[in-house]
Amino acid sequence: MEKITKDHSLSGSQDILAENIQKLKEIFPEVFSEGRVDFEKLQLLLGDLITPNDELYGLNWWGKNEAIKESMKRSLGTLRPDKESSKNWEKTENIYIEGDNLEVLKLLQKSYNGKIKMIYIDPPYNTGKDFVYKDNYKDNLKNYLEQTDQVDSEGVKQSTNTKEDGRYHSNWLNMMYPRLRLSRNLLKDDGVILISIDDNEVDNLKKLCDEIFGETNFISNLIWQKKTGASDSSTISTITESIIVYCKDINFIENTFSRNFESFDLTRYRNKDEHFELRGPYYTDNLDRGGLQYSDSLNFGIECPDGTLSFPNGRKEFQNDGWIWKWSKSKVQWARENNFIEFKKSDNKNSGWSVYYKNYLNVDNENNQIVRSAPHKNLITSILNASSSSDMKKLFDERVFQYTKPVDLIKLLIKYVNFKNNEIILDFFSGSGTTAHSVMQLNSEDELNRKHIQVQLPEITDEKSEAFKSGYKTITEIGKERIRRAGDTIFAEKKEELDQLKAKASLIQTDEEKAKIQELEEIIAKLDIGFKVFKLDSSNIEAWDTEMPETVQGIQTRLEESRNHLKKGRTEEDLLYELLLKQGLLLTSQIEERSIAGARVYSISHGELFICMNAPITMEVIEGIGNWGKESIAEAIVDLKPVLVLKDEAFGKDDAFKTNAELRLKNEFGFAKVNTL
């Protein structure tokens, strides 16, 4: 039975450095000698690939090495649930995290590795006036806890990165590097990242992304025309900004980007079949034509489902009445094999059948499987930044946030990506929550249920600002309130639309009316306007904390708390979430609770993790947990190997009981691991 100590892999976020070393060991075991790397040997093994340092091409800045190291350090912090400021906690699968995004990204590494379809971020542009968070690589978590409370004597945020600062660009790059590096790990193989930026840092950002994501994974520099004119320049006015797009791996993105269907009447495409994911929705059209140039070769019999031959114009046999099939014999054969033909019974046709072909949205029928629409262009001219103010005015009387992006812009960017149901969008510079708003809006317009994760620093608002005067002391308060209000508005609008549709429908509803009503009811039923709030904090478990208190009193309290495991003011629920996060389970995992022989036991994510913090416990409790584990294994669709976490004191001083319990849990009940705190 392993005890999870401070250095154990389960007491912190993913140990990226250790994992990289392990990978290197697997490929080049010969370069390791007494646990250290023989760099000269590694150079020899890599041969011509090594470039002398002074000839290297790339972006360099002050502090880069530290930034690289920082991206590999693990976090010992945690994310504490905050049910009170959440919305629909029990049901929702959206997440709002308050905290510095570097620590948060580290904490998400295990659970969300390879799980995010799209990242959109709108980081500080480094204009010289905006807030650029200053990391403290020695103890970033402590720094965060201090910094979120800090303003200097003049009320100026200490983190404003001014152009006069000699390391103006370096500061920004040091802030961005580790965050981008960590965010890449979270992307699915077919995932993409889109980053808003303006001329201040666009060159640096592009180079930085080339380094982190790889030049070959660059997709586009989208130019967004955000205004029609600007009078604030004596030279040339800038009316555009950029959205830089990279993918995780160019080899996996065949279906990642949607096509531009603007010229299509999308309302026609109402049917779906088993090819929906690839081919999109479809409509049917008659395969025969009367007005085309006649050819005998296009006048042949097609075998219908009951064996009857059907000729063009519904004839039963060959005859030249001018009617032909649209497609040749070989193409019809190909189309039948590939599910492009549909037969419908018809009393008006002599053959008794009408033959249709399917027009899928994503397929060019003239060239068989080729997608026919155009790709999106890298120029966006249809949405002006001014619309972001009206987005916010609909929700707030006061101007609570200055840097909001237009909902229509983010919606458009999300639409560029082909989402599957339940895929996740992450925004870790979320500001007023525009990404969350856009996701909910889009989910209310189509059949998909995209999920979102927002991360935002509780940056304090300026005392002179309208936000502060309206009671919003931090940007997270603005963000959460915006998402709450936007969700309610979207929901109310959909309900209203449904009521109107029902009121307008005929007394006996037509099939079309029924279908529309049903479609809207389904959208309303699946609409998730809630979010679970989590807050970044130091570990709940004393023994895992990085900081040793400075006073004797503090050390005494620490010792006392170590015995109880939980820090003062922390709850068992805080602990559950810390353990599940550090085990690599999703923050939205299902948590079930049972009382077993007087002990409170939790099963997380349908039996992946069991937790019991009672001490002492009896063999009856062990058996109860074992049986619950066995039950979960039987019900699981995937191979399930439950892990159990107990208190070290659960067994008192009875080592035989401890050994016996572990053996039974593993051999009799199928548990993979039993750990103690």
Give the binding site for ligand SAM (CB under 6 A).
100-101, 122, 124, 131, 133, 401, 403-405, 429, 431-432, 434, 455-457, 459, 475
Cβ distance to ligand SAM smaller for residue 144 or 213: 144
For 467, the token pair is: 């936000």
DSSP symbol at 450: -
Least spacing, CB of residue 67 vs ligand SAM, in Å = 14
Neighbours of 193 (CB within 10 A): 25
Neighbours of 412 (CB within 10 A): 18
Cβ distance to ligand SAM smaller for residue 311 or 429: 429
For 381, the token pair is: 């001219």
DSSP symbol at 567: P
Least spacing, CB of residue 151 vs ligand SAM, in Å = 14
Cβ distance to ligand SAM smaller for residue 341 or 486: 486
List all residues 6 or more positions away from 23 whose beta carbon is below 8 Å from its beta carbon.
Answer: none
Cβ distance to ligand SAM smaller for residue 93 or 100: 100
Cβ distance to ligand SAM smaller for residue 459 or 545: 459
Neighbours of 45 (CB within 10 A): 14
Least spacing, CB of residue 441 vs ligand SAM, in Å = 13
Least spacing, CB of residue 404 vs ligand SAM, in Å = 4
Got the DSSP string for 50-116? Answer: ---GGG--S---TTHHHHHHHHHSPP--EEEE-STT-BSTTT---EEEES-HHHHHHHHHHHHTT-E
Got the DSSP string for 160-187? Answer: B--TTSTTHHHHHHHHHHHHHHHHHHHE
For 55, the token pair is: 């000839």
Q: Which residue is nearest to ligand SAM (CB)?
A: 431
Cβ distance to ligand SAM smaller for residue 311 or 396: 396
Cβ distance to ligand SAM smaller for residue 100 or 201: 100
Report phi then psi at 417, rounded to 5: -105, 135
Least spacing, CB of residue 88 vs ligand SAM, in Å = 22
Which one, of 470, 396, 465, lies nearest residue 433 by Cα? 396
Cβ distance to ligand SAM smaller for residue 92 or 140: 140
Least spacing, CB of residue 533 vs ligand SAM, in Å = 14
Cβ distance to ligand SAM smaller for residue 130 or 623: 130
Give me Rg for the CA atoms of the chain: 30
Least spacing, CB of residue 179 vs ligand SAM, in Å = 7
C-alpha angle 378/432/522, rounded to 5°? 75
Least spacing, CB of residue 183 vs ligand SAM, in Å = 12
Cα–Cα distance, 440 to 625 (Å, whole number): 39
241 neighbors 252 (Cβ within 8 angstroms)? no
Least spacing, CB of residue 124 vs ligand SAM, in Å = 6
Cβ distance to ligand SAM smaller for residue 105 or 644: 105
Least spacing, CB of residue 276 vs ligand SAM, in Å = 32
Which one, of 549, 458, 415, lies nearest residue 145 by Cα? 458
Cα–Cα distance, 322 to 32 (Å, whole number): 80
417 neighbors 118 (Cβ within 8 angstroms)? yes
Identify the helix (H) or strand (E) that includes residue 610: strand 609-612
Cis peptide bond N-terminal to 616, omega within 30: yes
Query: Whose structure tokens read 């950029």?
Result: 242
